[in-house]
Structure 1
């Protein structure tokens, strides 16, 4: 589907359709062959570069070992190569230190000045080192002005012809060189920390290796983001094992993990640098309402498995933490893109540092078209919302973050962001296609010290929403949702011990929620949430670690405290491999919509209406969704060119929240004053609806296996496979049909290439097996379950780029769903969703 098309009642002849499909397959085959040819040529050229972090890490480790063995020239060359691939101040420091230790004062002084220019936290200490080296160099130059004594010829060995002094060449045989006298006392210790080692902060709320994390983790790196060419954050997550990514419209993408994806997906907690972007009104994430775009992201950390033990409600199936590029890091620049169907992308950013103060400012724009229209235009039996009928999402955004540090251990970050978005989404029940015109903003203050951390932020979401179309006798249900959230949390970090050591995190949290919507009943309270958590990582020697975590959350709607425990055992037979056993529970509290809805709905039957309310009209409350999980995993990072991860898990899921079957008004209801004429609708209330906890229990078993390898410089390959098997336990009175809305098999694979000539690219392939969706749909008889088959599909994405002008300029092209309809009908990820065609965008990037 290359073009935006409006369905018509006319159909092409079978022969014409066959010819069209054959031509589409040939075109897709040529595009794929061309892309594969480029990747092949780049690989055989011998000038390609492997994954930047991995290659830099390899050179860094080799360089540090050589310097420690006093082989300075070779070690400095390795460190220089590492810094060329991925610049880092600590590498520059080690290069300067190695020069000084070798007695090469001029290059040492030059490199120390380069290090100081990066405004490091230890600037004063290094300036003292620099002053001492400059004094030594000055004394050395004075000594060099004095006449040198004449060289004395060495006595010849027996049978050897005497040589003159001009023939003596001490460097003929290179051997380890002794450090310059007194150098170590001046330059101090080397920075032996592996600055290129992959680390995560989300699993334990502190920086650590994935090998030490108490949950299975995956990182989408900055290189993955750049080489993919993807501009939608949810699509970047598709490469993660076990992730469910479902695109419904051009702007509506729903994400879950290990199953239970849905419209308005609500099983994952999404953070931006630790700050929740959870939509409390609907219980979902509006990805297009984030104030940052992909060009501002340093990495994305994905925690697979329940995360409520540290993050509370809504970290049900896992946690996604989007880590932006820090203030002062990176270069300034811009990127613009344009594609077919008037796709648009623009991003501009500026980053700088002045002493201990740093800043980063970014602004951007995106526009995504619809894949198709729900109904034909011009119908007289329908009324349409005023939204642009060809636009699925259009957003403008601004983000400003600043930081100030005091010494090595104290930093304060203050900033805020704003995004305005027109968004086409799929709701639930009677609301299929729904239009939002919303604005979202935050103000955040984040303090970090060695033993105490505190964060507070205020967010506001407000806008207008309405159904995109409905029958002329019905309402579009225009409304004005708003959400004001104030969050504050404080954390104390400490540790003690020797052979048995403890790393303790203790924290308190408070969250105020003020929700308003025309769809809510009038007595919605301002909610005051509170939480406390404790985690202790107990290390027994170098091989065994036990991590115990627990959190208590007070949920006002439930009027009770909900506990969330987690226990992890980590066994490391060697430094670079780990076995992990995890048991945890988590919960999702009812969203504002599920808790407080009070909406009269017009039915097709003349004069009839339905009232949809939170809980039931008898006053009973929804219970939180619950998950109990057990997981075993193994991670191997023993080789810098190879990484392997395998995980198996079991989950027991209960109390899933869904729309309840309509209940007709009875005579006893009328006697109790329920039902009757509704003056707001001008109709009679004949039924009640709302949300309820489902009566079934899901037992889910599955596993994920993945690897990332670098068989040679220039080739970076990743692949993973996920298996998910779900079985429902239902009492005889439970009317819910079997649910197979999670693909049993998912496969992801990709290849990345970077060359010294400036060419770079990525090709990724995704496969999901068939699904059977249970969807609740509105009929003349009320809300009923219907099953829909969704065939399996393959998705192929690719990008080619070329960097030049000292790597300051890059031109690139990205194609999404390269095969399009070459293999048959355009793919569909949800039974009500658009059919997804091919999209192409071209980009121009400039960095200062």
Structure 2
């Protein structure tokens, strides 16, 4: 079989470069993403058989998405027991976005805050802050959340944009099925199989501040074996110093699949992300914390209603801690031996299995177990440390009629450093008419203290100008008495299809109660005494105007009431809206995708992009 070759060169400025027009003096951001002249190896005119029929169908009406994130098995999005939003590979390709956080900005209720050219903070529904750490992110069902430190490097996610098939985003706690860290919600990045991206694909983009986003992918198959190889390179300069690199990485990934009988398969994937520039993390007193690197390996066996998977994530940091310039003359951080350079190595080993049981056409049970072992070796903790986590979960789904569906589940988690936690979720779905669904959900989630919170051993050294005597160094130690952070969430949602499935309308109301947040008291972690209550609503629509023109629009509103103070305070824009249009013709030419988010911060002041 001849190798299929696809090349997606997006010519500088007009053909590949996303153009953003920003009114930084106003509390809004208007963006124009341009993605044109895309040459595919299989243009629409050459599609045959089922592929051509599917294309023609998509031009007539919207297809309802099939998702797996909310119940851990595939189902129509309208039957999901939680609020789910989907971004497709077409959305990504035609957005002109250079990185994943920029792609996610269009989702109502999701906040993306970029602090430097390398450092992003992403959260759900008003739970944002520097070093946001309440969102679980997975690539191909493998967690990439850094357990040992409780953070995520958004630009260093180990996948290139052309490899992504779709992104499923669940808003609201997902601890019932995914355990710790699925606090605000969860993002699962689903990649294309070797068959779906068969051939060679090259993508290149660039822009201001020395921005380069590039990827090369090759996939093929031989009999029952399929494989995918990819390489990515991304870089950009600092905002405050345009000639200084802020971020530079090289990504290498490999995925293999071997088809067995009975719709079962074996899979293996592995890769590494090497960074030599990273301008972050920005926290209250520090603006740089070292340059990270990542490696992973993932293996699994799947068949209908059953899977068993295991993965290893490796994580290292090397580099000095740089104090905020306004504090640098007076404050610096070192390890107990007065060494300011971070030397850290962490590992996560995870094993999980799940079994689904269907009873007739009305009932389904899902049961699962996972074990995780974390290790951390660093000069900023007291000694080599380990952590073990064990989780058991059970979920039941009952659909006595086409109008009603009840979903309930509970998870029991054990952790080395905290008491056991129980995370329930209950959902009631009501469909009084075809294509119209109402849903009510109550869920509880937890996030435990990290090894860095529990075992920290750091010196804070204050130097005062003479003749004022400087105080002795302050030793910041972790606390073994920290409990888990907690969220209780309530949500109502409506989904409806109109105009012969050419228009979808969605609306949601939510209330989140957040407590027991872990924050810094001086230099040491402690449990914050206050609470935050976040409530608001989201609404949006997607429409197919003609065979060649589609669009979307959404609006989000939220209020934050809290007794939290300092860096534990929750934050997010009060209003946010997005709108976009997409044109696509049968000759394969993609028109401009126009749109942009508008955000009003809580204090009403003018800010740049959030």
Do both proteins adopt the same fold according to a TM-score greater than 0.5, normalized to the shorter chain? yes
Flag the 1:525–1:24 CA change in 2: closer, same or farther, 3 A: closer
1:249 maps to 2:116: yes
Residue in 2 that maps onto 1:454? 308
- Aligned mates of 1:578, 1:744 — CA distance in 2: 27
Matches within 5 A, 1:367-766: 367-373=235-241, 390-421=244-275, 422-431=277-286, 433-468=287-322, 470-471=328-329, 474=332, 477-497=340-360, 501-522=362-383, 524-558=384-418, 560-605=419-464, 606-615=470-479, 621-638=481-498, 639-660=500-521, 662=522, 689-729=523-563, 739=569, 741-757=571-587, 758-766=589-597
| Displacement after TM superposition at 1:77 (Å) | 10
| Displacement after TM superposition at 1:365 (Å) | 0.3
- Aligned mates of 2:141, 2:399 — CA distance in 1: 26
Q: 8 Å contact 1:479–1:519 — kept in the other structure?
A: yes
Question: 1:669-711 CA deviation, whole Å, 9 max, x = no partner?
Answer: xxxxxxxxxxxxxxxxxxxx41111111212211110111111
Q: Which has the higher strand share?
A: 2
- Aligned mates of 1:635, 1:623 — CA distance in 2: 37
Counterpart of 1:353 (choices 221, 224, 233) is 221
1:324 maps to 2:191: yes
Matches within 5 A, 1:225-304: 225-304=92-171
Flag the 1:754–1:520 CA change in 2: closer, same or farther, 3 A: same
Q: 8 Å contact 2:237–2:243 — kept in the other structure?
A: no
| Displacement after TM superposition at 1:289 (Å) | 2.3
Q: 8 Å contact 1:329–1:352 — kept in the other structure?
A: no
Secondary structure of 1:316's match?
Answer: coil
| Displacement after TM superposition at 1:197 (Å) | 4.2
User: Aligned-pair RMSD on alpha carbons?
Assistant: 2.9
Q: 8 Å contact 2:517–2:568 — kept in the other structure?
A: no
Q: 8 Å contact 1:465–1:481 — kept in the other structure?
A: no
TM-score (norm 2): 0.85
| Displacement after TM superposition at 1:357 (Å) | 1.3
Secondary structure of 2:369's match?
Answer: strand
Higher RCO (CA < 8 A, seq sep 6+): 2
- Aligned mates of 1:729, 1:346 — CA distance in 2: 45
| Displacement after TM superposition at 1:740 (Å) | 6.5
Secondary structure of 1:310's match?
Answer: helix
- Structure 1's unaligned 5+ residue stretches are 1-22, 26-31, 43-55, 57-75, 88-193, 374-387, 663-688, 773-789, 794-826, 830-848
Q: Which has the higher helix share?
A: 1
- Aligned mates of 1:828, 1:705 — CA distance in 2: 22
Question: 1:406-442 CA deviation, whole Å, 9 max, x = no partner?
Answer: 13421111111111113111333431x1053222111
Q: Give aligned pairs, total.
A: 556
| Displacement after TM superposition at 1:474 (Å) | 4.8
Q: 8 Å contact 1:345–1:367 — kept in the other structure?
A: yes
Secondary structure of 1:280's match?
Answer: coil
TM-score (norm 1): 0.62
- Aligned mates of 1:249, 1:517 — CA distance in 2: 26
Secondary structure of 2:454's match?
Answer: helix
| Displacement after TM superposition at 1:281 (Å) | 2.9
Flag the 1:769–1:472 CA change in 2: closer, same or farther, 3 A: closer
Flag the 1:653–1:534 CA change in 2: closer, same or farther, 3 A: same
- Aligned mates of 1:468, 1:389 — CA distance in 2: 19
Flag the 1:289–1:655 CA change in 2: closer, same or farther, 3 A: same
- Aligned mates of 1:593, 1:402 — CA distance in 2: 35
* Greater CA drift, 396-405 or 763-772: 763-772
Question: 1:549-608 CA deviation, whole Å, 9 max, x = no partner?
Answer: 1111101111x2111000001112234221101011001111222222111111134252
- Aligned mates of 2:144, 2:99 — CA distance in 1: 16
- Aligned mates of 2:536, 2:594 — CA distance in 1: 27
Matches within 5 A, 1:97-246: 197-246=64-113
Counterpart of 1:770 (choices 585, 601, 604) is 601
- Structure 2's unaligned 5+ residue stretches are 1-20, 24-29, 37-43, 335-339, 465-469
- Aligned mates of 2:534, 2:93 — CA distance in 1: 35
- Aligned mates of 2:121, 2:358 — CA distance in 1: 40
Question: 1:42-74 CA deviation, whole Å, 9 max, x = no partner?
Answer: 9xxxxxxxxxxxxx9xxxxxxxxxxxxxxxxxx
